[in-house]
Structure 1
Amino acid sequence: MLAAVSEVGRRVRGALPAVGLLTLATAAMLGVSTLLGFAPAPAAWRIALTLVAAGLLGIAAADQVRAALTDWQGATAAESGVHRRPRRGLIDLAGELSGERTGDWTGDRVLAGRLGDEERTETGIFTGRTRRVPTTGDLWGEPDEPPSRSERPEPPARGRPPRPSWMRIAVTTLIAAALAALLWVPQVPVSGVARTAAQFVVGYGAFALPVLPLLLAWPLPRLRRGPRWSWRLPLLPVADRRLWTGAELRELAVTTLAFLRERVLTRASGIVLATLGLLHLVRGNPNLLDGGTNRAGGLAGFLLAEPLRLLLASGGAIALLGGVLAGAAAVIAASVGRAWGTVTGYSVLAVALVVPLGLAGASHWLGYEYYLRTQDGRVVVVAGLSPRHVQSVHDTSLRVDGMSPSLVALLDKGLPVTGNDDGERIAKALAQPGTSAAELYVGDQFELKSGECFDWIGGSSQLRYVAPCNGAHVGEVTFVGHLPFTVDPGKSAVDAAAKAMCEQSYGDYLGVPFGQSFLPLEAPLLPPALEEGWHARPVIACWLGSVGPWTLKGTRTVAALQQKTPWGAAGGCKIEVPDALRVTAAQPGVRCLAPGPEQRLSVPGGGFAMDLEFAAIGKAAGGAKVGAGCFDGANLTNGYSFEVAPDGVIEIWKHFADQHARLTASAKPKNAGPPTTASTPLQVTCKPTPDGGVELTAFSTGSRKASVVDKNAPITSLSPRLVLANAEAGGVVMTTMIFNATRV
């Protein structure tokens, strides 16, 4: 019983240095990381769990740390000439009774015996190997006093590892040179692929990969090891076509854990892995799928650090990995000091701690890209490893509300910028294009200004020339300005930003914001020189297609007969646009709307005024009605219609789902023909009222007027449409000669 208790006590005492080293290093790292802002302080229970984990790792590395401590003491004693007499316990003496010595000792030991007056003196540094010592006499006697300094023999020279073979040096140097060429020299053909693959695996550690093979050229002194890991055991099901036995599984588990213990806790591989994990944590835990890990610790850092972060929080994971790094650095430094001197050992310790921790610490603030993007309905500049990764946020004071769809989509995706100031400048220029307006757009053999109308020759030349807006023309320039980029953001970003600026300036020119009019923007005109190479702040031109012999500036036009927009109607209806717009009701009992469901535009709270004129639909049209309407583009079954009946009466209807209610009607026309035999002009308005209703008004020739205010659950999300209501016969055609809708 006493022997068992003594054995436990010896093991506990033997583990104390390792437990103390890793626990103190972990606690220090936790305090430093919290003070420097690498991560917030974890909860109390996570701190306790982190320190417990550090203690368990210390117990696992007890033998290695104790051996390293002995090495360091031996190296220090040998250099200083101080030879200590180590304490000898009952267990040490019991071992010597059998003629065996196990353990570590340094300095000179003098042991006197009672048999004959023999004196045995041992001088040297014991490295932990079992030695057989012939003994005689009474080993329980007291040791003599140590000899004076002048009588002591000089300590033996420290044993250095043998010089590696030239083959080993050549192979490691060749590997390092090949990696350097692949990862450091962009001109190598496969450098890009190799760098991408390496960064995926180890992130920023890829740039240090060429240095690591050089560490193998002159290996460190080997530490005591447990049973050697056998690569044959995992292959038993394939090689011997049988499953593992229980003993083999235990052997595989024990040897694997022993291998990992040595490689992670006491070797350079542990420093490398801990550094990759720290890179992942201090750079904001990037996601594996957004590419951010390539600029942190890579896949290896992600797999190592993420489980620790989920268990111990970021602060605890940083502290534990820092403790592991400090422990491995101390063991390596002691091993080097034993072979090459304490000065070299201290140097290795400093390098092994300062370089990884310094690089990981600096990477918390440096090496990020800046992206202009949206967050919580605001435009911000984020510093991160990818557009989705956020390390820090700078608010530009711009809100997303009111921005065009293309601009919102561009910012949602993330636009690369050079910094906070550059991002804020670009954001304001995109949101307010007028601040970056230019005087002139210079094309290929033509020049255009904002507000000018133009025509072109066509064909392959596409040569444009200025034309009067009150005559025939192809398009009208709505904005000329600079793209705000000083550095090339890429073709897709240039195209998206040009489109976004045109959409943002749309409302300033037309009077109706983009997205509240059927009139489409044409593709922006980019400078021809941009195809030859990038230049800062290129000038673009935005333009609208012509809808008639007049200017569109400030007209608040929402729809026009000549608009280049999908007119497609619903089932049972057909739309053709040759010289005029023809809507055909192919089946009886349908209501045809143009534009149809493909045009889903609706303006909440928007009011419209429409001017229309229809050709006669013919006497065979039966009970068909022609007119206009204000309908919800998202659901064309809801809205209001103004329909001219075969007898010429104007009827105002309200439609909600499958319910149709006539709200009011005008008198019969005076001295005006019905739509079946005469052309029918029509002016209608639908607009919201201050008290929450919708005012509906229609006029036509022959003193026809109908007006009503709908206050019974009014429909307020509306857009202008043409209407053909076919009651009896199929094949009715409504020809529209004038259709123009404006905002009121």
Structure 2
Amino acid sequence: MSEAGRRVRAALPAVAVLVLATLATLGLSTLLGFAPLPPAWRLVLVLVLAVLLALAAADQVRAALTGWEGAAAAEWGTHRRPRRSLVTGDITQPQTFNRQRPSWARLVVAGTAFLALAALLWMSQVPGHAAALAAASFLFGYAAYALPVLPLLFAWPLPRLPREPWPWRILVVPVADRRLWRSSELTVLGVGTWHFLRERVLTRATGIAVALLGLLHLVRGNPHVADGGAARAGGLLGFLIAEPLCLALSAGGAIALLGGVLGVAAAVIAASVGRAWGTVTGYVALVLLVALPLGAVGAGHWYGFEYYLRTENGHVVVVAGLSPTHRQAVHDTDLAVDGLSPSLRQLFAEGLPVADYADGERIAKALAAPATAAADSYAGEQFDLKAGECFDWIGGSTQLRYVAQCNAAHVGEVTFVGHLPFTVDPGAKAVDTATRAMCEQSYGDYLGVPFGQSFLPLEKPLLPPGLDKAWHVRPVIACWLGSVGPWPLKGTKTVAALQQKSPWGPSGGCKIEVPDALRITAEQPNARCLAPGPEQRLTVPGAGFNIDLEFAAIGKTAGGARIGAGCFDGADLANGYSFEVNADGLIEIYKHAGDQHARLAASAKPKNAAPPTTASTPLQVTCKPAADGGVELTAFSTGNRKATFVDKDHPFTSLSPRLLLTNGASPGVVMTTMIFSATRL
């Protein structure tokens, strides 16, 4: 046989072991759903790399299998006659194999390292345990818990092929000799490093450790290092091992190649064990060296994750991950994001920790539909409140005095009483956000208008006294609205009121005061004052409103001032419709589009009604979508004044109610509003 044929035949066992291990790992990974099957070209690349690694490890694998054959022959008595080697094809004489035992010094070093690492990483009572475990987890991830076992693997001496020691002295040439490296020295260093790494990674326990770290990183979803996720997978080393392979070969290809490295390293080690202690022991070692790492990695694909409620593709999902930003597996709760309140969306966007998939689905549905978690009453320190009841204060604003009649003076009105759906404490921030979210979700059920489509603000929810000090399962909370008058708000669809607590925030050149009534002052000539102003960007697409209001006389010196109300686009108050009473008492309807102001309609002159400059003026206006398209605009007042118009010429359909004051050349015009109430149609 030629020399080339001998080399090819000698490399066949290594190629067979590594390629078969790679294909077996690929099939197992795909079958169990660890990673999808890589594209065809990447699969070919994986197999090419496996063959190249096999060629690099051919000498070690051949020597290990030769030793294995000798051990098997000795056990079965075939040592009495010559036999042909299955590896090389040569006729070999029978040999007697002696057990190679580790030296006492090697055992002492390995045992000391095991005890030191076990004490630091396994025993919380040892000083420095937390810091050592944190550092080891950062570097090795979950493999840090198995780190003490590694010295025991190195305690067993494995046969080594003849090679030169690693030329470490070349590294110190610039310091020792004060010169740069020569090309020949760099070549020697590169070849020596290659031989060292080839032996350590492919035929030693180091190879098993490298494969384990890389596989842990891959099967646990390629977590990031910065957010701490890698510390619960393969650590920083696993990240550095797996990420380049994943980029080049895809996750499935990287898993397959690392599985091949694990297989060939385990085969070489098991052959050495079988040579020294018998083939049965070798088979046991092979099974353990392959099954334990793969079993740990396989379990890591399904277990050891935290669960978070998140949003994805318009749905609320429960994500299993290693950090709030990591996604390993996703469970759809069949709950749509549409219709969720801003606080609830924020809570899910940040990631709400839950116990598992079932717990996450239960919590999500309870937060989205608070009525399913309603409670009979909320118990304060000296009072009980029920949904729909009104109450008043005594002393400071933190002490409730009594339940009051809603059609009399009161401070607030309870809109919802229910349980927070948490069985374990999710943290103060999550409790506050979830409480706010449940109040926002129940807002529309009580008022008749969804949260975010009304100017009436939610007050700070009431939590059980002492909850921050002593957590208890499913605590009861209470949501409430501030009073806007001596009447109940339930089902009224109120979107604006004179006594609302949200800031009125007028535009430039205007001032607002809220004593007993609302006073709007146009401080500059030709000012246009809207209240609420641009700070309140509320706008409701396709909504209609009824607005009831009454103004006091603005004074004979008001000149060309106009008072009234309007339906404007909150995102851009330059667009919308206004209903204005002029100095002669006529009601005029205007359409505003930027700096364009077109009069659409006007009422007749008032009969037996004084103008707004000398008398109070009531006004009722409506803006709503018309049945045949467009926007229907209507205004009524005393004196048989009525103005109507249906705008079908590029109408504005995203609107919200506002108060309006415009003045002419006279600054300091004051509009006093005694009644202002807007409801959703």
* TM-score using structure 1 length: 0.86
> Pairwise mapping of residues 485-504 of structure 1 onto structure 2 (< 5 A)?
485-504=422-441
Match of 1:209 among 140, 144, 147: 147
> Pairwise mapping of residues 226-241 of structure 1 onto structure 2 (< 5 A)?
226-237=163-174
Give the fraction of aligned pairs with identical amino acids, expressed as a percent. 70
Q: Which position in structure 1 is the counterpart of 2:369?
A: 432
Deviation at 1:15, TM superposition (A): 1.6
Deviation at 1:262, TM superposition (A): 1.4
Q: Which position in structure 2 is the counterpart of 1:538?
A: 475
Question: In 2, distance between residues paired with 1:69 and 1:704?
Answer: 106
Q: Which position in structure 2 is the counterpart of 1:264?
A: 201
> Pairwise mapping of residues 46-195 of structure 1 onto structure 2 (< 5 A)?
46-83=42-79, 84-85=81-82, 107-108=93-94, 125=95, 155=96, 157-164=98-105, 167-169=108-110, 171-181=112-122, 185=124, 191-195=129-133
| Structure with greater Cα Rg | 1
| Residues 379-423 of structure 1, C-alpha deviations (whole Å, 9 max, x = no match) | 222333334433333332221111211112222222222233222
**3-state SS of paired residue (2:105):** coil
Q: Which position in structure 1 is the counterpart of 2:647?
A: 710
- Contact in 2 for aligned 1:688/1:716 (Cα 8 Å): yes
Match of 2:247 among 310, 318, 330: 310
Question: In 2, distance between residues paired with 1:41 and 1:624?
Answer: 75
- Contact in 2 for aligned 1:75/1:342 (Cα 8 Å): yes
Q: Which position in structure 1 is the counterpart of 2:40?
A: 44
Q: Which position in structure 2 is the counterpart of 1:148?
A: none
**3-state SS of paired residue (1:579):** coil
Deviation at 1:591, TM superposition (A): 1.0
Question: In 2, distance between residues paired with 1:16 and 1:560?
Answer: 87
- Contact in 1 for aligned 2:84/2:92 (Cα 8 Å): no
Q: Which position in structure 1 is the counterpart of 2:276?
A: 339
| Residues 588-626 of structure 1, C-alpha deviations (whole Å, 9 max, x = no match) | 122111111111110111111111122222222221211
Question: In 2, distance between residues paired with 1:438 and 1:448?
Answer: 11
Question: In 1, distance between residues paired with 2:270 and 2:141?
Answer: 27
**3-state SS of paired residue (1:40):** coil
For 1:52, the aligned partner's letter is: V
- Contact in 2 for aligned 1:70/1:105 (Cα 8 Å): no
RMSD across aligned positions (CA): 2.4
The aligned length equals 678
Deviation at 1:166, TM superposition (A): 6.9
Residues 502 and 240 of structure 1: CA distance in aligned 2, closer, same or farther (over 3 Å): farther
Deviation at 1:276, TM superposition (A): 1.6
**3-state SS of paired residue (2:104):** coil
Question: In 2, distance between residues paired with 1:65 and 1:156?
Answer: 18
Q: Which position in structure 1 is the counterpart of 2:29?
A: 33
Residues 235 and 452 of structure 1: CA distance in aligned 2, closer, same or farther (over 3 Å): farther
Residues 735 and 188 of structure 1: CA distance in aligned 2, closer, same or farther (over 3 Å): farther
**3-state SS of paired residue (1:211):** helix
Deviation at 1:558, TM superposition (A): 0.3
- Kindly indicate whether residue 416 of structure 2 is the aligned counterpart of residue 479 of structure 1: yes
Question: In 2, distance between residues paired with 1:643 and 1:231?
Answer: 91
For 1:416, the aligned partner's letter is: P
**3-state SS of paired residue (2:148):** coil
Match of 2:137 among 199, 218, 223: 199
Question: In 2, distance between residues paired with 1:328 and 1:86?
Answer: 27
Q: Which position in structure 2 is the counterpart of 1:401?
A: 338
Deviation at 1:236, TM superposition (A): 4.3
| Residues 336-375 of structure 1, C-alpha deviations (whole Å, 9 max, x = no match) | 2333333332222121111001111222222333322222
Q: Which position in structure 1 is the counterpart of 2:657?
A: 720
Deviates more, 1:629-638 or 1:334-343: 334-343
Residues 441 and 165 of structure 1: CA distance in aligned 2, closer, same or farther (over 3 Å): same
Deviation at 1:431, TM superposition (A): 1.4
Q: Which position in structure 2 is the counterpart of 1:11?
A: 7
Deviation at 1:10, TM superposition (A): 2.9
Deviation at 1:105, TM superposition (A): 9.3
- Contact in 2 for aligned 1:221/1:339 (Cα 8 Å): no
Q: Which position in structure 2 is the counterpart of 1:129?
A: none
Q: Which position in structure 1 is the counterpart of 2:489?
A: 552
Deviation at 1:237, TM superposition (A): 4.6
Deviation at 1:167, TM superposition (A): 4.9
* TM-score using structure 2 length: 0.94
Deviation at 1:227, TM superposition (A): 3.0
Question: In 1, distance between residues paired with 2:619 and 2:490?
Answer: 25
Match of 1:255 among 180, 192, 204: 192
**3-state SS of paired residue (1:458):** coil
**Structure 2 unaligned spans of 5+:** none
Q: Which position in structure 2 is the counterpart of 1:363?
A: 300
- Contact in 1 for aligned 2:309/2:353 (Cα 8 Å): yes
For 1:85, the aligned partner's letter is: P
**3-state SS of paired residue (1:209):** helix
Deviates more, 1:487-496 or 1:411-420: 411-420
For 2:257, the aligned partner's letter is: L
**3-state SS of paired residue (1:164):** helix
Deviation at 1:434, TM superposition (A): 0.9
Question: In 2, distance between residues paired with 1:87 and 1:461?
Answer: 95
Deviation at 1:735, TM superposition (A): 1.8
Residues 240 and 175 of structure 1: CA distance in aligned 2, closer, same or farther (over 3 Å): farther
For 1:434, the aligned partner's letter is: A
Q: Which position in structure 2 is the counterpart of 1:528?
A: 465
**3-state SS of paired residue (2:645):** strand
- Contact in 1 for aligned 2:555/2:613 (Cα 8 Å): yes
For 1:21, the aligned partner's letter is: V
**3-state SS of paired residue (1:720):** strand
